Structure 1
Amino acid sequence: MLGIGINVIHLDIMAKQKVREIGMNISQIIQQLIDCVLTLRFIEQEDEIYIRNQILYLLDIHEFTVTEQSKDDASIPDLLERLVDYACENGVIKDLFDEKEILTSNIMNCFMPKPSTVNQYFYEKYKKDAKAATDYFYQLSRTSNYIQTKRIAKNMNYKYPTEYGDMDITINLSKPEKNPKDIMQEKSMKSTNYPKCLLCIENEGYAGRIGYPARANHRLIRLTLEGEPWYLQYSPYVYYNEHCIVLSKEHRDMKIDRQGFLRLVSFVEQFPHYFVGSNADLPIVGGSILSHDHYQGGRYEFAMAKAADEYRFALQPFPNVKGAIVKWPMSVIRLRSEKAEELVAAADCILESWREYDDPTADIYAYTGKTPHNTITPIARKRHNVLELDLVLRNNRISDEHVLGIFHPHSDVQHIKKENIGLIEVMGLAVLPARLIPELQEVEKYILGKEHEIAEYHRTWAEQLRQKYKEQAHTENIGEIIKKEVTVKFMRVLEDAGVFKRNEQGMAAFKRFIKQVNCK
Structure 2
Amino acid sequence: MHVNEAIQALLDQAIKLEMIEARDEIYARNQIMALLELDDFQKSVQPTGDTGIPDILENLADYAVGKGIISDLDSQKEILTAKLMNILIEKPSAVTGRFYEKYTADPRSATDYFYALSQNSNYIQTKNIAKNISYQYDSPYGTIDITINLSKPEKDPKQIALEREMKTASSNYPKCLLCIENEGYAGRINHPARSNHRMIEMELTGEPWYLQYSPYVYYNEHCIVLCGEHRDMKIDRSAFERLLEFVAMFPDYFLGSNADLPIVGGSILTHDHYQGGKYEFAMAKAEETGRFTLETFPEFEAMTLKWPLSVIRLRGDDRDLLAGAAEMILEKWIGYSDPEAEILANTNETRHNTITPIARMRDGKYEMDLVLRNNRTSETHTLGIFHPHEDVQHIKKENIGLIEVMGLAVLPARLETELKEIEDYLLGQKADVKDYHQVWAEELKERHAHELTPDTVKGIVRQNVGAKFVRVLEDAGVFKQTEAGLRAFQKFTETL
Identify which of 405, 408, 411 aligns with 2:387: 408
Paired residue for 2:112? Answer: 135
List aligned pairs for 1:216-227, cutoff 5 A.
216-227=195-206
Paired residue for 1:202? Answer: 181
63-72 vs 480-489, greater mean Cα deviation: 63-72
Contact 2:8 2:48 in 1 (8 A): no
Alpha-carbon shift at residue 349 of structure 1 (Å): 0.7
Q: CA–CA distance in 1 between the matches of 2:263 and 2:199?
A: 29
Alpha-carbon shift at residue 66 of structure 1 (Å): 2.5
RMSD over equivalenced CA pairs, Å:
1.0
Paired residue for 2:290? Answer: 311
Alpha-carbon shift at residue 500 of structure 1 (Å): 0.5
Paired residue for 1:467? Answer: 446
Identify which of 192, 216, 220 aligns with 1:241: 220
Alpha-carbon shift at residue 317 of structure 1 (Å): 1.8
Paired residue for 2:411? Answer: 432
Give CA-to-partner distance per residue, 1:104-123, whole Å, 9 cap, x none. Answer: 10000000101110011000
1:386 alignment partner AA: K
Q: CA–CA distance in 2 between the matches of 1:169 and 1:284?
A: 21
Q: CA–CA distance in 1 between the matches of 2:185 and 2:218?
A: 24
Paired residue for 1:186? Answer: 163
Q: CA–CA distance in 2 between the matches of 1:488 and 1:350?
A: 31
Q: Does 1:270 align with 2:283?
A: no
Q: Does 1:377 align with 2:356?
A: yes
425-434 vs 437-446, greater mean Cα deviation: 437-446
Identify which of 96, 111, 115 aligns with 2:73: 96
Contact 1:320 1:342 in 2 (8 A): no
Q: Does 1:513 align with 2:492?
A: yes
Paired residue for 2:373? Answer: 394
2:213 alignment partner AA: Y
- State TM-score, norm by structure 1: 0.94
Contact 1:321 1:342 in 2 (8 A): no
Identify which of 105, 109, 112 aligns with 2:82: 105
Identify which of 309, 327, 334 aligns with 1:355: 334
Identify which of 16, 39, 50 aligns with 1:62: 39
1:335 alignment partner AA: L
Q: CA–CA distance in 2 between the matches of 1:29 and 1:452?
A: 49
Identify which of 26, 29, 39 aligns with 2:6: 29
Contact 1:442 1:452 in 2 (8 A): no
Identify which of 120, 123, 126 aligns with 1:149: 126
Q: CA–CA distance in 2 between the matches of 1:237 and 1:63?
A: 36
1:438 and 1:313, CA in 2 relative to 1: closer, same or farther beyond 3 A? same
Q: Does 1:164 align with 2:137?
A: no
Q: CA–CA distance in 2 between the matches of 1:354 and 1:395?
A: 10
DSSP 3-state at the match of 1:400: coil
Q: CA–CA distance in 2 between the matches of 1:187 and 1:163?
A: 46
Contact 2:32 2:84 in 1 (8 A): yes
List aligned pairs for 1:414-493, cutoff 5 A.
414-493=393-472
Q: CA–CA distance in 2 between the matches of 1:492 and 1:160?
A: 13
2:289 alignment partner AA: E
2:136 alignment partner AA: K
Q: CA–CA distance in 2 between the matches of 1:340 and 1:500?
A: 28
Q: CA–CA distance in 2 between the matches of 1:184 and 1:496?
A: 38
1:70 and 1:119, CA in 2 relative to 1: closer, same or farther beyond 3 A? closer
Paired residue for 2:266? Answer: 287
Identify which of 233, 238, 255 aligns with 2:234: 255
Q: How many aligned positions are there?
A: 494
Q: CA–CA distance in 1 between the matches of 2:180 and 2:100?
A: 19
DSSP 3-state at the match of 1:516: coil
Alpha-carbon shift at residue 70 of structure 1 (Å): 5.9
Alpha-carbon shift at residue 67 of structure 1 (Å): 3.4
Paired residue for 2:322? Answer: 343
Q: CA–CA distance in 2 between the matches of 1:378 and 1:421?
A: 14
Q: CA–CA distance in 2 between the matches of 1:120 and 1:260?
A: 27
Q: CA–CA distance in 1 between the matches of 2:316 and 2:267?
A: 29
Give CA-to-partner distance per residue, 1:364-387, whole Å, 9 cap, x none. Answer: 001010100000000000011110
DSSP 3-state at the match of 2:331: helix
Runs of 4+ in 1 over 6 A off after TM superposition: none
1:510 alignment partner AA: F
Paired residue for 2:313? Answer: 334
Give CA-to-partner distance per residue, 1:425-462, whole Å, 9 cap, x none. Answer: 00000000111011111111222222245111111001
Contact 1:165 1:303 in 2 (8 A): yes
1:392 alignment partner AA: V
Paired residue for 1:43? Answer: 20
Among all aligned residue pairs of Structure 1 and Structure 2, give the percentage whose two residues are the same amino acid: 60
Identify which of 21, 26, 51 aligns with 1:74: 51
Q: CA–CA distance in 1 between the matches of 2:425 and 2:432?
A: 8
- State TM-score, norm by structure 2: 0.98
Give CA-to-partner distance per residue, 1:5-47, whole Å, 9 cap, x none. Answer: xxxxxxxxxxxxxxxxx5xx21111001100111112210011
Q: CA–CA distance in 2 between the matches of 1:187 and 1:350?
A: 45
2:283 alignment partner AA: M
Give CA-to-partner distance per residue, 1:173-230, whole Å, 9 cap, x none. Answer: 0001111111122223321111000000000110111110010010110111111110
Q: CA–CA distance in 2 between the matches of 1:451 and 1:218?
A: 46
Q: CA–CA distance in 1 between the matches of 2:40 and 2:432?
A: 54
Contact 1:374 1:393 in 2 (8 A): yes
Q: CA–CA distance in 2 between the matches of 1:449 and 1:422?
A: 37
Identify which of 84, 87, 106 aligns with 2:61: 84
Q: CA–CA distance in 2 between the matches of 1:411 and 1:186?
A: 32
Contact 2:64 2:70 in 1 (8 A): yes
Q: CA–CA distance in 2 between the matches of 1:453 and 1:472?
A: 20
Paired residue for 1:228? Answer: 207
Contact 2:89 2:196 in 1 (8 A): yes
Alpha-carbon shift at residue 479 of structure 1 (Å): 1.3
Contact 1:302 1:427 in 2 (8 A): yes
Structure 1 gaps of 5+ residues are 1-21
Alpha-carbon shift at residue 288 of structure 1 (Å): 2.6
DSSP 3-state at the match of 2:410: strand
